[in-house]
Amino acid sequence: MEKAIKMKSRELNLFYGNFQALYNINMDIEENRVTALIGPSGCGKSSFLRSLNRLNELIEGSRISGEVFLDDSAIYEKGINVVELRKKVGMVFQKPAVFPMSIYENVAYGPRIHGIKKRSELDEIVCRSLQSANLWDEVKDRLVAPANQMSGGQQQRLVIARVLAVQPEVILMDEPASALDPISTARLEELIAILKTRYTIVIVTHNMQQAARVSDYTGFFLHGCMLEFNRTEELFLNPRHNKTEDYITGRFG
Amino acid sequence: MPGTRIGEKALTCLLYLSALIIIGILLAIVGYIVYKGLAMINLDFIMQAPRRAGKEGGISSTIVGTLYLTVLSLAIAAPLGVGTAIHLEEYAQKESYFAYLVTLTAETLAAIPSIIYGLFGFVFFVIYLKLGWSIWSGSLTLAIMVWPTITRTAQEAILSVPREYRENSLALGASKWQTIRKIVIPAAIPGIVTGMILALGRAIGETAAVLLTAGTSLGMPLSPADPARSMSVHLYMLAMEGLSMERAFGTAFLIIILLLFINYLANRSMSLLSHNGG
């Protein structure tokens, strides 16, 4: 069966000033699958993630060569609307940064930015997004409460709801569980399993068990190169590269 | 070693004493002004126009003049100052020569004595732009004077907004300006307001710059083109020309009340800032 490729990178190099952070990354990201990026700190996995929604551009002095495609459009092409790209490629960060406003306003922020003004429409989006993020039952009676009073796990799910409210096609997650306790982490992983039926997910994680549990594909990064990319079981059971094996068996990292 | 112990005790005593002296001085100044000024304060003093150059009557026109000058100067300086801060923190490249120049200018402006502002305002606004001694001239001069204060505090407030807020907003597809308007400024607003209130306090207390640009007219100012005498200038004239020491103290008392009130407002918005968690 032909695999549907949602995003792909071709010969992607990334530089911060004189420092090269990524070397020749070629990756196919399959639709409705979870792709995990693993590797030691500073290996370039987060940089790669951030080049998928052009968030690297916020750093002064960063530039790329090579190409990244979303469906069939090259996202670094001149004339590409970054706003449209980021609507389609949402991102969940390591630290859940809820805005200092109510739970409702946090979720409604994206849709409002993109021009939805009608209250009934917003109400519906907020409700649907919170339900999809498995948060609705916990917060439905206090939507007007300040979001920063929620627990860390709830905040992370609120951030996911905020991303879902923009109706993305791809969701990038940058170590989304690193600040969460084990129970919240388990809930997040359940959520990822549900979300992948409707979205394409790329997740950066430090936690190898997590990568093995949630992902279909895994890429192993080292010193800015992607050493290995394969189906997750394959990569964990029969790593082709001995560095991969060293890393997943905990010999370094 | 006994020597060190004694030395330490002596030092502690000295530090305690210096703190005590500061409190003492503040209490002495405020106390004396309250003691001398309170007797003058009644509704007539606040509501009546000055008569015989301020020897008799109240200070109503100077209160109106003061409010006019401070509100107008803030209305001019606030957008400029906040705009400068947004440019420096959000748009300018950190290492750029222009940003360096703007910061240097703001720092230099903050260090210039107010009488120099007065002289500049007198030559530029009063004479060259033919605005005459007027609330316009005074407000514009005061605006230049408090602009660095507003810029600085607004810069700090904007800087204290977590970077993650900006990243999250941009990642949701918001433009840079939407992010600034809907996320950064609301989160920074208590700090920005604090800076404005500090600027307001400085404008109210300013004498030299106002004396040279708004004039000393005791008439009730109606339009911004009218000359006006601020409370601080009035106090200066009353005391300097020996017109009425009681009225000078009465005016001083009202200025202090006004400043204490403004300080209270500044503290309130500060605590609001910490409540929001930045």
Q: In chain B, which ranges are E strands?
A: 50-51, 56-57
- The partner residue sitting opposite B165, judged by closest CB among A99, A113, A163, is A99
Run of H or E including A222? strand A217-222
* Cβ contact, residue pair B173, A162, below 8 Å: no
Distance, C-alpha B100 to centroid of its chain: 25
Q: Nearest chain A Cα to B179, which residue?
A: A113
Which positions of chain B have pLDDT values less than 70? 1-3, 270, 273-278
ipTM computed for the complex:
0.88
Confidence (pLDDT) at B118:
92
| Min distance A74 CA to chain B CA atoms (Å) | 18
Is the CA virtual torsion B91, B95, B96, B98 positive or negative?
Answer: positive
* Cβ contact, residue pair B169, A109, below 8 Å: yes
Confidence (pLDDT) at B277:
42
Q: Which CATH number fits domain A1-94+174-182+204-253: 3.20.20.70, 3.40.50.300, 3.10.50.40, 3.40.50.720?
A: 3.40.50.300
Q: How far apart are CA A63 and CA A46, in angstroms?
A: 15
Close Cβ partners of A124 (under 8 Å, ≥ 6 residues apart): none
A199, A182 Cβ separation under 8 angstroms: no
DSSP string, B8-35: HHHHHHHHHHHHHHHHHHHHHHHHHHHH
**Shortest CA distance to B210 belongs to which of B188, B227, B192?**
B227
Exposed, middle or buried, B239 (CB in 10 Å: 0-12/13-18/19+)?
A: middle
Radius of gyration of chain A (CA): 18
DSSP string, B162-198: -HHHHHHHHHTT--HHHHIIIIIHHHHHHHHHHHHHH
* Cβ contact, residue pair A97, B173, below 8 Å: no
**Shortest CA distance to A22 belongs to which of A9, A8, A5?**
A9
**Shortest CA distance to A211 belongs to which of A253, A167, A158?**
A253
Q: Which two structure tokens, joined as six digits, stand for B153? A: 């505090």
Q: What is the pLDDT along chain A (253 residues), one digit of tens a residue?
A: 567 889 999 999 999 988 999 999 999 999 999 999 998 888 889 999 999 999 988 888 889 999 999 998 889 988 888 888 999 999 999 888 899 999 999 999 999 999 888 999 999 999 999 998 889 999 989 999 999 889 888 999 999 999 999 999 999 999 988 888 888 888 889 999 999 999 999 999 988 889 999 999 999 999 999 989 999 988 888 888 888 888 888 777 5
Confidence (pLDDT) at B278:
37
Confidence (pLDDT) at B2:
55
* Cβ contact, residue pair B173, A159, below 8 Å: no
* Cβ contact, residue pair A99, B169, below 8 Å: yes
Find chain A residues with C-beta within 8 A of B165's C-beta: 97, 99
* Cβ contact, residue pair A86, B93, below 8 Å: no
- The partner residue sitting opposite B277, judged by closest CB among A60, A93, A100, is A100
DSSP string, A57-77: GGSTTEEEEEEEEETTEETTS
* Cβ contact, residue pair A109, B172, below 8 Å: yes
Chains A, B: CB pairs < 8 Å? 66
Domain residue spans of chain A: 1-94+174-182+204-253, 101-172
Is residue A11 helix, strand or coil?
strand
Confidence (pLDDT) at A2:
62
* Cβ contact, residue pair A100, B171, below 8 Å: no
Biggest CA pair distance of chain A: 57
Q: Which tens digits make up the pLDDT trace of B87-145?
A: 988 888 777 888 888 888 888 888 899 999 999 999 999 989 988 889 999 999 999 99
* Cβ contact, residue pair A109, B167, below 8 Å: no
Exposed, middle or buried, A41 (CB in 10 Å: 0-12/13-18/19+)?
A: exposed
- The partner residue sitting opposite A60, judged by closest CB among B93, B276, B277, is B93
Find chain A residues with C-beta within 8 A of B161's C-beta: none
- The partner residue sitting opposite A55, judged by closest CB among B94, B162, B167, is B167
**Shortest CA distance to B70 belongs to which of B192, B204, B198?**
B204
- The partner residue sitting opposite A87, judged by closest CB among B166, B173, B186, is B173
Q: Which tens digits make up the pLDDT trace of A184-207?
A: 888 889 999 999 999 999 999 988
